[in-house]
Amino acid sequence: MNGEGVPVRDIVEETFRLVGAAAEQDVPLRLLGGLAIRLHSSDRSVHPALDRDLKDIDFVTPRGEDRRAASFLESMGYEANRTFNTMNAGRRGLFYDVANKRQIDLFVGSFEMCHAIPIADRLDLDPVTIPLAELLLTKLQIIELNEKDQRDILALVLEHEVGDGDVETINSAHIARLCAADWGLWRTCKLNIERAREAVTSYGLSPPERDLVSSRIEALWSAIESEPKTRRWKLRDRVGDRVRWYEEPDELG
């Protein structure tokens, strides 16, 4: 494995290079996105029916650590997008592997796209990736879900139980608490859980695999619906879909 500051062509090998070097240098980076899902899959290989191309690498670092994380990524051979990073200082950064035409998206403290997903307080639960609950939420929060994100949702649910813990488990209690405090997040999760229900039969899974995914999706939605909602959630629920409840990702940039 290349330990020098030169990115390697294979994206999985490159991810291990970065994760290993970050651990050695005590740089607090945690992986998210499709590569994190792959690392949590059996034999680090997504089910063939749900596999997809992996093009970029996504990391999150705690607030206050973004400069150190940026210096680390540059030392590993990545070029910073100076303009974007200055405009989004303390929140987000972009870095490029020019030779291999890849990008690293660095989130700081939280994941903000269509919705803001708090991550910083639970980064220590896994030494390499964000917890599975947050990993799933980064997909469920997408208002315009594409096929690769749909595949990621089904792959996560196929591989992992839904329950109250975090060790190789999707913590439905944590997801439910976040949704109970944020009507917008709840609304988008509801939309994408409905999409996931419909998509289960579209990817060549076996009948037992489809049944397993469906039962876990239902367990997740049951947890979300049974969680007592906050007063703020109830007030926003009165407005419903008449007012937009999500951010356009381009606006966040």
Torsion sign, CA atoms 198, 200, 203, 207: negative
The whole-angstrom separation of Cα 158 and Cα 72 is 34
What would the mean pLDDT of 27-54 be, rounded to a whole number?
92
* Residues contacting 245, CB < 8 A, separation 6+: 183, 184, 187, 188, 236
Within 13 Å, how many C-alpha atoms sit on residue 4's CB side? 2
Percent of the chain whose predicted confidence (pLDDT) is above 90: 92
**Could you tell me the two tokens for 93?**
């950064």
The whole-angstrom separation of Cα 78 and Cα 98 is 8
pLDDT at 143 over 80: yes
Q: Over the stretch 101-129, which tens digit does the pLDDT of each residue have?
A: 999 999 999 999 999 999 888 999 999 99
Work out the burial of residue 229: count CB atoms within 10 Å of its CB; fewer than 13 is exposed, 13-18 middle, 19 or more buried. Answer: middle
Within 13 Å, how many C-alpha atoms sit on residue 75's CB side? 13
pLDDT at 236 over 90: yes
Tell me if 190 sits within 8 A of 145, measured CB to CB.
Answer: no
**Could you tell me the two tokens for 209?**
């695999």
Give the predicted TM-score (pTM) of the model. 0.92
What would the mean pLDDT of 141-170 be, rounded to a whole number?
96
- The pLDDT, as a whole number, for residue 4 is 66
Tell me if 228 sits within 8 A of 180, measured CB to CB.
Answer: yes
The whole-angstrom separation of Cα 54 and Cα 142 is 18
- The pLDDT, as a whole number, for residue 147 is 94
Confidence of residue 3 (pLDDT cuts 50, 70, 90): low
Work out the burial of residue 165: count CB atoms within 10 Å of its CB; fewer than 13 is exposed, 13-18 middle, 19 or more buried. Answer: middle
Q: What share of the chain is helix, strand, coil (3-state, %, to 5)?
A: 55, 15, 35
Residue with tokens 């290989």: 45
The whole-angstrom separation of Cα 104 and Cα 97 is 8
The whole-angstrom separation of Cα 198 and Cα 135 is 21
Q: What residue type is assigned to position 253 of the chain?
A: G
Q: How do 92-97 and 110-112 pair as beta strands? A: unpaired
